[in-house]
Amino acid sequence: MTAQPSRRPAPPARTGFPIADDAPVYAISVAAQLAGLHPQTLRQYDRLGLVTPTRVGGRNRLYSANDIARLHEIADLSADGLSLEGIRRILDLQAEVASLRRMLTDLRRDQASTALVVWRPSRSAD
């Protein structure tokens, strides 16, 4: 008989509480440093709609871990020689493909379902 490996939860963040990947927590200076970009570049990407940070107080931008991952992807595509418009189109198409894949998964799950649906017509008052 072999021992099953124990499944331990991931250790909490150093702050003592977990932070969701989509939580806007990084100021533009920190996000720029994490992404290896200049803050002005992040402002330009925001103006072009390549990344959309959360606005706090109408002025200050806060970035999430997902935003920073997207900034890395944009920087990689830019380093490969793509224009910003080309990058925007690629990101839009990737989002559309992800949405279509979710829809396809849902349709396949519905087709494979063995649930019995019972329909009872409502009785109209005569």
Domain coverage including residue 64 = 26-112
Q: Which amino acid is at 126?
A: D
pLDDT in tens, 2-24: 444 445 454 444 556 788 999 99
CB 49 within 8 A of CB 82: no
Q: Is there a domain that residue 13 lies in?
A: no
Q: Is there a domain that residue 69 lies in?
A: yes
Q: Is there a domain that residue 123 lies in?
A: no
Q: Which of 67, 7, 13, 60 is nearest to 37 (CA)?
A: 67
Rounded CA gap, 5 and 44, in Å? 48
pLDDT in tens, 101-126: 999 999 999 888 777 777 878 877 65
Q: Is there a domain that residue 118 lies in?
A: no
- Give the sheet arrangement for strand 26-27, strand by strand: 26-27, 60-63, 54-56
CATH number of the domain that 95 lies in? 1.10.1660.10
Q: Is there a domain that residue 2 lies in?
A: no
Q: Is there a domain that residue 32 lies in?
A: yes
Q: Which amino acid is at 90?
A: I
Handedness of CA 20, 24, 29, 32 (dihedral sign): positive
pLDDT in tens, 54-109: 998 878 999 999 999 999 999 999 999 999 999 999 999 999 999 999 999 999 99
Number of domains in the chain: 1
Question: 103: how many CB neighbours lie within 10 A of its CB?
Answer: 10
| pTM (two decimals) | 0.70
Q: Is there a domain that residue 15 lies in?
A: no
Q: Is there a domain that residue 119 lies in?
A: no
Helices (H), the chain: 28-35, 39-48, 65-79, 84-112
